Amino acid sequence: MAVVTDEMVCFSLYAASRATTQLYRTLLDPWGLTYPQYLVLVALWREGEQTVSSLGELLQLDSGTLSPLLRRMEQGGLVVKERRSHDERVVTVAIGPRGAALRAELAHVPSRIAAATGVQAGDGEALIRTLQQVTASMHAAAASAHAPDATAASPH
Amino acid sequence: MAVVTDEMVCFSLYAASRATTQLYRTLLDPWGLTYPQYLVLVALWREGEQTVSSLGELLQLDSGTLSPLLRRMEQGGLVVKERRSHDERVVTVAIGPRGAALRAELAHVPSRIAAATGVQAGDGEALIRTLQQVTASMHAAAASAHAPDATAASPH
DNA sequence: CACAACTTGGTTGTGTGCAATTCAAACGGG
DNA sequence: CCCGTTTGAATTGCACACAACCAAGTTGTG
């Protein structure tokens, strides 16, 4: 019952996501960084050198988004790209000189975000779990919508 | 404490929002509709004729996003735009012939979304409240970041 | 070896989002 | 009535997102 509520959840997600991106924009603008670019830096700071595809898995972005984004980041010295020698298909992405310098300069960002979320410490973890569950459910539903009836005999 | 959690909330929002958009894409693709376009139709179905600015308020989108979106929708007969006679600056947006027909054709969408959210009926309302609170907090923080100290004497 | 299937990343095209600017229409004080 | 201001949309420029497609490299199989 109350199917309208579920579409409201989706719109609230949509609006909240843009609001958070907006705050990141104001925080990162002095460095000419965007939120997805900041996410790449955080991933590299925390996990170290990554391939393009492992970055895509972490951030849930495909090459159509990452390729031009990484090209701009490389031009700005934020990251360094290199083709792996034994498999020429694979491109590794590592922190560049400017990206390393930003780690200290952007150390204030997480606390500014924390101050702005308006979420209690305990509630945050529950919220994250709920959101990850929604994400997983949505991905599953979208996948099964492309292949409507995988359990029954395959059509034709 | 635990500032990392708050950045995790933001990323979860970002990922969940794109996952929901993804599901809407698979549902709306047969009609060539995007999620923001669907939101415009829902707003017009529910609230009736709107001005561009009132649509922007409802969906929290500005004219830079809405103008080209509404132009494409008008070309497809989804909406009808008309300049208001008393005030030639105002443009009203109403449901077009094809937009009216879609109301019945898309009646299945909300229930498909509801089935996919993976959220219990009761939890949905709490989640919406939390998300709206986050949205409001983020907007407030972004606004105060632009004008760091509005309480003190105005500069200059 | 030959060769088809698969993997990896890049490119193209379309549609948002949003800041900044522009422009016309309306408004308002003098 | 006139000029400066405000307001509502549209336009411009840039950066995502993502589907669809492509090229190069790798791997499994006979």
Tens digits of residue pLDDT in A28-47: 999 999 999 999 999 999 99
Give me the CA B46–C1' C22 separation in Å, rounded: 34
Which residues on B lie below 8 Å from A7 (Cβ)? 42, 110, 113-114
Which residues, 6 or more positions from A36, have their beta carbon under 8 angstroms from its beta carbon? Answer: A59, A61, A65, A69
What would the two tokens of residue A156 be?
A: 């034709």
| Under 8 Å between Cβ of A123 and A100 | no
Q: Pairing between strand B91-95 and B50-51?
A: antiparallel
User: pLDDT category, B85, cuts 50, 70, 90?
Assistant: confident
pLDDT at B149 over 80: no
pLDDT, position B111:
94
pLDDT, position B114:
94
Burial A7-28 (b: 16+ CB within 10 A, else e): bbbbbbbbbbbbbbbbbbeebb
pLDDT at B151 over 70: no
The answer to whether residue A141 neighbours chain B at the CB level (below 8 Å) is: yes
pLDDT, position A3:
73
Evaluate whether residue B140 is within a structural domain.
Answer: no
Chain D positions with a protein C-beta closer than 7 Å: 7-13, 15-20, 24-27
What secondary structure does DSSP assign to B40-88, as a single string?
HHHHHHHH-SEEHHHHHHHHT--HHHHHHHHHHHHHTTSEEEEE-SS-T
The total number of structural domains in chain B stands at 1
CATH of the domain at B57: 1.10.10.10
Chain C positions with a protein C-beta closer than 7 Å: 7-13, 15-20, 24-27
Give me the CA B87–C1' D6 separation in Å, rounded: 14
pLDDT at A133 over 50: yes
Inter-chain CB proximity B127 and A9 less than 8 Å: yes
User: pLDDT category, A150, cuts 50, 70, 90?
Assistant: very low
| Residue written as token pair 């959210």 | B117
Q: Give the strands of the sheet with A79-83, arranged side by side.
A: A50-51, A91-95, A79-83
In this prediction the ipTM stands at 0.91
Long-range contacts of B146-155 (CB under 8 A, 24+ apart): B146/A26
Tens digits of residue pLDDT in B102-137: 999 999 999 999 999 888 878 899 999 999 999 999
Closest-CA distance, A118 to chain B, in angstroms, reads 6
pLDDT at B155 over 80: no
Average confidence score pLDDT of chain A: 91
Tens digits of residue pLDDT in A74-117: 999 999 999 987 899 999 999 999 999 999 999 999 999 999 98
Runs of H (alpha helix) within chain A = 3-28, 35-47, 52-59, 63-75, 97-105, 109-117, 121-146
Q: What does each C-alpha distance from B76 to A114, A127, B69, B96 come to in angstroms?
A: 44, 39, 11, 9
Closest-CA distance, A46 to chain B, in angstroms, reads 12
The answer to whether residue A101 neighbours chain B at the CB level (below 8 Å) is: no
Q: Which of residues 35-74 of A touch B (CB under 8 A)?
A: 35, 39, 42, 60
Least confident range of B18-22, B83-87, B143-147, B148-152: B148-152
Give the number of A-B residue pairs with CB atoms closer than 8 Å. Answer: 203
pLDDT, position B147:
63
Range of the domain at A69: 3-117
What is the sign, positive or negative, of the torsion defined by CA atoms of A21, A24, A30, A32?
negative
pLDDT at A1 over 80: no
Evaluate whether residue A91 is within a structural domain.
Answer: yes
Distance of alpha carbon A37 from alpha carbon A27, whole angstroms: 13
In percent, the amount of chain B with pLDDT more than 70 equals 92
- Whole-prediction pTM: 0.91
The amino acid present at B104, given as its one-letter code, is A
pLDDT, position A4:
79
pLDDT at B152 over 80: no
Give me the CA A149–C1' D10 separation in Å, rounded: 46
In percent, the amount of chain A with pLDDT more than 90 equals 80
pLDDT at A145 over 90: no
Evaluate whether residue A143 is within a structural domain.
Answer: no
Inter-chain CB proximity A13 and B13 less than 8 Å: yes
Taking residues A2-25, what's their average pLDDT? 94
pLDDT at B50 over 60: yes
What secondary structure does DSSP assign to A80-124, as a single string?
EEEE-SS-TT-EEEEE-HHHHHHHHHTTTHHHHHHHHH---HHHH
Least confident range of A43-57, B112-126, B140-154: B140-154
Which residues on A lie below 8 Å from B141 (Cβ)? 23, 112, 115-116
Q: Which residues pair with A91 in a beta bridge?
A: A83
Distance of alpha carbon B144 from alpha carbon B25, whole angstroms: 35
Evaluate whether residue B145 is within a structural domain.
Answer: no
Least confident range of B37-51, B114-128, B138-152: B138-152
Evaluate whether residue A132 is within a structural domain.
Answer: no
> At A51, which helix (H) or strand (E)?
strand A50-51
Q: Is the CB of B63 under 7 A from strand C?
A: yes
Average confidence score pLDDT of chain B: 91
Q: What does each C-alpha distance from A122 to A118, A119, B12 come to in angstroms?
A: 12, 8, 16
Coil, helix or strand at residue B23: helix
pLDDT, position B156:
33
Distance of alpha carbon A22 from alpha carbon A28, whole angstroms: 10
